[in-house]
Structure 1
Amino acid sequence: MTDAPTYEMERPSKPAMLRGLRCKCPNCGEANLFSRYLKVVDQCPHCAETLSHHRADDGPAYLTILLVAHILGFAIHFMWVMWQPSPMVMATTLATGAVALSLFLLPRLKGMIVAIQWARRMHGFGHQP
């Protein structure tokens, strides 16, 4: 009977996810995770952790759409019940809100997904001493 491989240090998921949501390195929480809007740095400049292994792909976009759609669904209902604005006012307000909220959430959710992958040693993040 073989045991599963054990690692010297377990990586706690919750602190890593919170650091990812702040767009910080999941290992140290000090340096920025992104060099540009959605470009993950290859290596953390503070702790030298390699972050180029991530495979976030479409996950952040799906989560962003899911969250923004639910928030806007509530906003549509709330706006209509409380104020009954004209359709043009609702469309303009909600479209602006959707774009702003999407631009705000997308890098944070990508950071969270990269941090989850790092904490669970997924893809290339595993098998490192």
Structure 2
Amino acid sequence: MAEPTPVEPPPWACGTKGLCPRCGAPGLFAGVARFAPVCAACGLDFASFNVGDGPAAFLTLILGTIVTVMAITLELTVQPPFWVHILLWLPITIGAVVGSLRVAKGMLLAAEYRNAAREGRIDERP
């Protein structure tokens, strides 16, 4: 009897649960936001994927917009002293970015795997 083929998990599950995008086994991360070199279950080489600064750029734009809107809203409604903004928004921003970086990196790696994304090549056919 043949062994059943594992179902590829969706990208959100890879990011939130740290699952391998090929086999669904846990172990995508070796640290807080550092990928493991390979999947211990199926041998997928995580080092061959290059998520680069994509997750950090997306998080900077998305979370930066949200925090900025909230800070402006607080300023216009309550008008607290400047130190309140520093004590409030600095930890919230750092916590949100660090907390969501792992998820964003996992989702982007899974999307690269699912779409077979590779570096662009110039087609030199005549």
Taking structure 2 as the reference length, the TM-score comes to: 0.76
Using the TM superposition, give the Cα deviation of residue 52 of structure 1 relative to its aligned residue in structure 2, in angstroms: 2.1
- Secondary structure of residue in 1 paired with 2:48: coil
| 1:59 maps to 2:51 | no
Whole-Å separation in 2 of the counterparts to 1:62 and 1:20: 19
Match of 1:47 among 42, 47, 57: 42
Aligned partner (choices 17, 20, 25) of residue 11 of structure 2: 17
Aligned-pair RMSD on alpha carbons?
2.3
Question: 1:83: how far off?
Answer: 2.7
Q: Which moved more, 1:110-119 or 1:18-27?
A: 18-27
Q: Tell me the distance in 1 between the aligned counterparts of 2:54 and 2:47.
A: 17
Q: CA deviation at 1:78?
A: 2.8
- What is the identity, as a one-letter code, of the residue corresponding to 2:14? G
* Secondary structure in 1 matching 2:51: coil
How far has the Cα of 1:19 moved from its partner?
Answer: 2.1
- Given that residues 20 and 115 in structure 1 are in contact (C-alpha distance below 8 angstroms), is that contact kept between their aligned partners in structure 2? yes
Q: Sequence identity, in percent?
A: 21
Q: Which has the higher contact order (CA 8 A, sep 6+)?
A: 1
Show CA shifts across 1:18-75 (max 9, x none). Answer: 1232132222333121101222112212333332211111111101111220110121
TM-score scaled to structure 1, two decimals?
Answer: 0.75
CA distance in 1, matches of 2:60, 2:19: 22
Corresponding residue to 2:117 among 99, 122, 125: 122
